[in-house]
Every structure is written in C-alpha cells, then in structure tokens.
Chains A and B, each alone.
Chain A
Amino acid sequence: MKRFLPFLIIAIVALLTVGIATAIYRAKMRPATPVAATPVPAASTPAAGASAGDAAAVATPTPEGKEDPSLHVRGPRTAPVTVEVYGDFQCPSCGHSAGIMKELEAQYHDQLRVIFYEFPLAMHQHAMEAAMAAEAAGVQGKFWEMHDLLYQYQAVWSKVSDVSQFFGSYAESIGLDVARFNADRQSPDIRQRVMSQGEAGTARGVKNTPTIFLNGNEVRAGFTRDSLQQAIEAARTPKKGS
C-alpha cells in the first residue's frame, strides 16, 4: 500500500487541480454580469429630461458605434481608426489602458476616434456610481473630463465607502453645476443610460473590462502601449491601402 500511496496522492492532487481550475474557469467565463446588464424594457429608455443637455437621448450604441449623437466620442468621424472601449471606472486595468489610450490619442491626433461605453461590473463596489457620475457630467457636456478624473483618482475613491464627496469635488473642479450633477447622477434616467450601454455590450459579447475594439475587431493582445500601438498601426494599414 505504501508503495502506491505517493502515486495515489499525486493522482488526487492532479484531479483536484484540474477540477478546481475548471470550476473557477467556468465561474469566470459566465458572462460577467455588469450592473448594467439587468434586463431593461426598451420602452423605458426615455431621454434624461430637460436637464439632459448634450446627451438628451439614452445611449444606444450600435456595433459600429456610429451615428448616435449621445455616444461619448473623442476624435473626428473621419479618423481611419475607431477605438471602442467598454470600461469600468473601478477596474485597475481600465485605468491603466485609459492612460495609454490618452497617450496614443495625443500621438495619432485626428487618426484616432475613441468611443467609450459604460460597462460597470457588479464585482466593483462603486463602479455603477462612477459610471453614473460620468454620465451625469456628460449631461453638462463634460463626460471626458470626468472620465479622465475618475481614472486618475481611481485608487483614491475606490477605497472609500462613500464616494459622493469625491465625485462632487471632481465635478466642482471641472466647473460643473454641482447641484445639477448630484441630482443627475442619481436619476433613474442616467442609471437607465448606463444600463443600456452595459446591456448592449453584453449583447456584443463583452465579458470583461476593459474590452477594446479597433475598427470593430476585438483587441486580444493585451493592453500595453506597444500592443495597442501595434494594433492601431495594423488597423490603419488597410485604410491606407484603399
């Protein structure tokens, strides 16, 4: 018996390893339930009301991310490369890739068009609140300013239990009407807008954040500066040739 005992233990460890790894993998590969992915009746997606400013319509992104005026877009429509980012403001990798994207935007100027979609994951405590804050800033035409601040100070607000004060101070720093911002960021319409974007992402196959599409093709090579730059260069090439 003692002769076979080590082999028995080795077999058990092998089986346990494969079993546990498979279980974790399956659990992770279940479509990540973004907070935003709860079924939402299409009819209940009204505009954000009179205070909705530049983003009056609820964002209903198309797969190509074109034509919808409520989309959060940076860069010209004529840009040869369109980068679509599904992000969660509390996700560290999203913050990291957002920094890289900003550098690349500065490098490529009008060659790059960036579209951001909300995809707050349920696993992050304040992700939904942050997404709503960004959308509320968008109502006053300052979505990208809030987007940048939320990522810049992600490590700070992610750790606190009440983010209201932090988001309020960011709103103030970018010149928003704070009272209106605070009202908007808690409004059902803004929540609905975030949910619609998350739902559209889920329908498109987005499971994790960040998920980045370049000219409609998902980037799978990792989100380092080099890999994203290579992907952008690759996406530019066919446009150049045509």
Chain B
Amino acid sequence: MAGKRKNSQAKVAGDKGAASNGARPSVVVYWIMAVVALAGLADATFLTVAHLSGDDAVCGSAVGCSTVLGSAYAAIKGIPTAAFGTVAYFTVFSLALLGAFGSAWVRKFLVLVVALMFLASCYFLYLQAFVIHAFCPYCMLSAALTFFLAGLLLVIPPAR
C-alpha cells in the first residue's frame, strides 16, 4: 500500500517536473490559444445569431459579405455553418484552458479539433474564392484565427 502511494507520488512529481521543464512556454501558448479561441467564439457566435435572426446589417456596406452569408453554404441542413464554428471554438477554448492549467492530455484532442477546423477553413476559403466569388470579412477573420491556432499548436511539444 505504502509502495503504491510512493509510486503514485513519484508519478505526480514526474508530471510536475515535466510541467515545469518544457511546459512553462507551453502554458503561455495554451493561454494565448484560449484567448484566440475566445475571439473566434465571439465571431462565430455573432454570425450564428445574425444568421438565425436574418439580420443583414451585420454586413454593413460589404456586398461580398451579404453574398457569402446569404449563400446556400451559410447553413448545413438548416443549421448555420457558423454554429459549428461556435462549438469548435468553444471546444478549443476549453481544452486550451485545461492545458494552461497543466493538463498535458489535451494536446492530442486540440490537434484533432484544430486540424478539422483548419481543413474546414481551407474549404470555406475555396468556396468564397472559386464558388461564391465573394469574401466575407467575418469568415476571413475566423479562418485567420484558425490558422493562428494551428500555428500555435505546432509550438507545443507533444506530451510524453
């Protein structure tokens, strides 16, 4: 029993050691990711609400924006595309926050979610450039945030 406790204490000490060694910069990166994800969450939530309420004023004088947000790609089976972004950014925010508080396991989930977001952003950029032929600034911001998140994730070393 005592041996078992010693063993688990050693394991905890090992985790803490790992966290204090290479993890210090990682913690900062996780915090940055959380903040970036919050910005993305605000952007996607705003677009979701605008879509659901049918508000066009969201676009100001940008006609391209109206074209994109009024296109058939603005919703998937009746669900606003931006709503998927809201869920994705919230997931990234939650995982990054847990990472910032020392949970090393979050990285692999972050990699999965951010990779999906990265691919989705590339697809939406393709749609805007070659199918809809118009760009929506809010969608471009979301894509930029996702690319930034992907870049930040590369900085974090994989958990051993």
* A interface residues with partner B (beta carbon < 8 Å): 2, 5-6, 9-10, 13-14, 17, 20-21, 24-25, 28-29, 91-96, 121, 123, 155, 158-159, 207-210, 221-224, 226-227
Contacts and interface: CB of A to CB of B under 8 A. Distances in A.
A91 B62 CA distance: 10
Contact of B93 (A10, A209, A226): A10
Contact of B53 (A29, A95, A223): A29
Contacts of A158: 61
B60 A222 contact: no
Interface residues of B, number: 34
B10 interface: no
Interface in B69-122: 70-72, 74, 86, 90, 93-94, 97-98, 100-101
B62 A28 contact: no
Contacts of A209: 56
Determine chain B's interface SS by DSSP, over half rule: helix
Contacts of A224: 67, 70-72, 132
Given A208-B56, A227-B70, 20 more contacts: A6-B97, A6-B98, A6-B101, A10-B93, A13-B93, A17-B86, A24-B53, A25-B49, A28-B55, A91-B57, A92-B59, A92-B66, A96-B63, A208-B55, A210-B56, A221-B72, A222-B70, A222-B74, A223-B66, A226-B72
Nearest to B97: A6
15 contacts: A6-B97, A10-B94, A13-B90, A14-B90, A17-B45, A28-B49, A29-B53, A92-B56, A92-B65, A121-B57, A155-B61, A208-B56, A222-B71, A224-B70, A224-B132
